[in-house]
Structure 1
Amino acid sequence: MRRGFTLIEALLAIGILIVLIGIVAVALTRGLQTKHSQSVYVELQQNLRTAMQQITQDLRSASRLGLWNDPASGCSAAGDPCSSRDRLAILVSKGYYTAVAEPPGSSYNNSVETGVCDASGFDDGDLVLISDGTNSDLVEITQRQLLRDPTQPCSSPTTASGGTPPNRDLIQHNNDRISGTWQPNTYAFKVQLVTYELRPDPEDAARTVLYRRTGLGATAGNYSGIVAFDVDTLRLSYGIPLDPSAASSSIQQLRFYDSLSAAASALGTAYTDDPRGSGIFVGSLVRAVRVYLAGTTPAPLTAGGGPGRYEITETVDLRLN
């Protein structure tokens, strides 16, 4: 009887074992690659969904004006607060407003202070929207003066003979001069200006990130920063009623425009894309904003394949009343 294995049999067994080990190794490697690819793609999905949730939350917190636009800025450099095809500027309500105490019909030119009924809810450095519902100014408070006697009604100055002195507070905005004619029912709203735009990835300039910037000046404000990595497309459109003069409480069919400037051009000379301009600011007419986000994974999901791509779209109704 033969005992043990011959040399040929031993070599054959070793060869089979090596093949089996190779098969197992390939299977494990592919499994790990698949798991990693799935993880990377899921992370991309989560990033874009979180970003959309943040934009939606800001839009639904919009103040009376809702959107902001500064065409004089050029709307192309980082931080320009505009509502266009590829960037979005929102005025988020900070939960406080007061009536403006200025005589309706009186003109003001390069004014650096505004009378209000109660400035106690403001602080130095706050951003304030001064709006009559049609046209607006955005100013930063440099100083507040609490002058009003709270036991007496708020009143604005009068030029009438024998008139009583005003009973009001003042907010100074020395860096923001405003001009125009005071209208009835003008209010001062405490707001935060939020601008969304794409910026180069700080780690890879060939890629872009979704950036959320707060504030009006050259320096970004608190809570500015990257919202999501690997976002390569931010596309926006703005829904305005087919009848722009319709009451805001009525149900209207909307037409969507790529930017506020496009809306103003389409609606005619009575409308403007500049909240400080003459005419009706189209930003005050927007009832919904359609937001489209898309992104790709940093690397292909499979060997020889392409990167994963994820897209998400949401239409957000504005709560402006």
Structure 2
Amino acid sequence: MARKLVGMRERPGRRSTLSGMDPLTALLAGPRASGAFLLRSVFDPPWSLRIEDRAPLTVLTTVRGEGWVVPDGAEPVPLRPGDLVIVRGPDPYTVADRPQTPPQVVIHPGQVSTTVDGERMCEELDQGVRTWGSGRDAATVLISGTYQLHGEVSGRLLRALPPVLRLDAAEWGSPLVALLEAEIGRDEPGQEAVLDRLLDLLLISALRCWFARDGRAPAWYRAHSDPLVGPALGLLHADPARAWTVHDLAAECGASRAALAKRFTDLVGEPPMAYLTGWRLARAADLLAEPDATLAAVARRVGYGSGFALSAAFKRVRGISPQQFRDRAGAGATA
């Protein structure tokens, strides 16, 4: 490569030996779909579903027919065959054949469906394995996948997304939708795991396509392609527990300390050690959601020498203690 960064020392083969993790992989390597709610919805017009499940993320795609995603207080988003829409929760929204169609069904937390008056109607709409609606031969077939876990690591990713993200069929064109459609109606051993992984693949592919658009990607994602900052981010994500210094990180990347510090700050928007602190605390928050995890064990996994040190950093940055965070997360999950 003829291009060389100022202050970067050439080391033959160095880039190929860097053991790191790109930002998107790191952010999706925490809570993955586990028992995600996948459903095929089949309706004849007019139809309208009011979604109030408070899920952090929902993926929608139409197999047959057309529809609209109508966020509260925002412009309706079309959903045509082959399109894919990602909705960032927890705000409510409506999915309908037309934006003007009034809601007929309300989806509550736990995927409980009722009429607008609150009458339960899950059994009435049941059409078989992971299928519900007015009839299997209906004009509209919509597939939805809902992530129901609130992981703090994925929160960093969610904050980078708009409330509603749409990829039309022409730019999207993924074979995963057809595969998901083929698998969603099956009831075989291990089927839940198959569907969870397909939903993960669908989400990752969609996010890569979205972030590839000019100006759409957050700074930490764009920095991944940089020949200096990209490897540095990968190393921090892969091993946050290591006692990193800017000097050590620069040495691993084959650059001077000053060159790395300046370029990292320019591209990511904060210095390397500030970014590392945020990443460590995001990882800690996610690990604290595990019921059997002790504060001391979490501290060791994210690079703090003791539970006290982690607690002090957590409270300084987030304004609450790890125990308070855990209590709130537990209360939210219960609700």
Structure with the larger strand share:
1
TM-score when normalising by structure 2: 0.24
Structure number having the greater helix percentage: 2
Task: Return the TM-score normalized by structure 1.
Answer: 0.25
